[in-house]
């Protein structure tokens, strides 16, 4: 069970992840997963540097699935940061079974019809469908939690409350 936690957060690596989340879930490796980010040489260089000494990989969704299944991946305690809800869904559809999935920050995408379901999570009707499918595949609650010390909120309830 190498994937202890998957966080869906379009900010990727930032202080909340490296200072709070990595320690609270007991991870010894971070994997940032998004096909576009994985092909960007600048992000591939900067994101591991932002991880403050935590071993970090920047991989496509398919490469993340392969790494987690590898002998090396099976020996590590992994926290995955998926940039988008669709990245998280693709990982689950690919067989990933994280212990917990948390939605962090999702900034609004310009020129989309989004609603703010929390002060830091924008969601469109397509995002809502993706989150519902993630929750269905998990078979457990999909939560939103900025800091590990905060009380988690149920994402599906937030979507429903906001008409999504």
Number of domains in the chain: 1
The answer to the question of residue 59 being in a domain is yes
The answer to the question of residue 161 being in a domain is no
The answer to whether the beta carbons of residues 102 and 85 sit under 8 Å apart is no
Which CATH number covers residue 63?
Answer: 3.40.35.10
The answer to the question of residue 118 being in a domain is no
The answer to the question of residue 122 being in a domain is no
Domain around 74: 3-104+130-148
For the question of residue 14 being annotated catalytic, the response is yes
Mean pLDDT score, 121-149: 94
Which has more pLDDT, 1 or 118? 118
Q: What is the pLDDT of residue 16?
A: 74
The answer to the question of residue 76 being in a domain is yes
The answer to the question of residue 80 being in a domain is yes
The answer to the question of residue 121 being in a domain is no
- Whether the pTM exceeds 0.85: the reply is yes
Q: What is the pLDDT of residue 158?
A: 96
Question: Of 5, 14, 100, 119, which one is the catalytic site residue?
Answer: 14
The answer to the question of residue 110 being in a domain is no
Q: What is the pLDDT of residue 141?
A: 86
Pairing of strands 153-154, 56-59: unpaired
pLDDT more than 70, % of the chain: 99
Tens digit of each residue's pLDDT (9 = 90 or more) over 152-164: 999 999 999 999 9
Tens digit of each residue's pLDDT (9 = 90 or more) over 70-110: 999 999 999 999 999 999 999 999 999 999 999 999 999 88
Q: What is the pLDDT of residue 135?
A: 96
Mean pLDDT score, 131-147: 93
Mean pLDDT score, 1-21: 86
The least confident of 5-19, 22-36, 90-104, 109-123 is 5-19
- C-alpha distance from residue 159 to each of 68, 132, 144 (Å): 30, 9, 11
């Amino acid at each position: 069970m190498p994937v202890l936690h998957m966080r869906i957060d379009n900010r990727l690596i930032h202080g909340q992840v490296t200072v709070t989340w990595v320690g609270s879930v007991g991870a010894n490796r971070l994997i940032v997963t998004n096909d576009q980010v994985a092909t960007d040489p600048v992000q591939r260089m900067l994101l591991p540097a932002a991880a403050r000494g935590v071993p970090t990989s920047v991989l496509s969704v398919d490469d993340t699935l392969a790494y987690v299944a590898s002998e090396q991946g099976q020996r590590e305690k992994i926290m995955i940061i998926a940039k988008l809800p669709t990245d998280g869904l693709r990982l689950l559809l690919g067989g990933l079974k994280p212990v917990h999935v948390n939605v962090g920050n999702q900034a609004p995408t310009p020129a989309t019809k989004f609603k703010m379901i929390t002060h830091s999570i924008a969601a469109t009707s397509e995002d809502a469908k993706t989150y519902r499918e993630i929750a269905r595949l998990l078979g457990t609650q999909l939560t939103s939690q900025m800091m590990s010390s905060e009380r988690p909120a149920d994402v599906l309830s937030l979507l429903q409350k906001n008409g999504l």
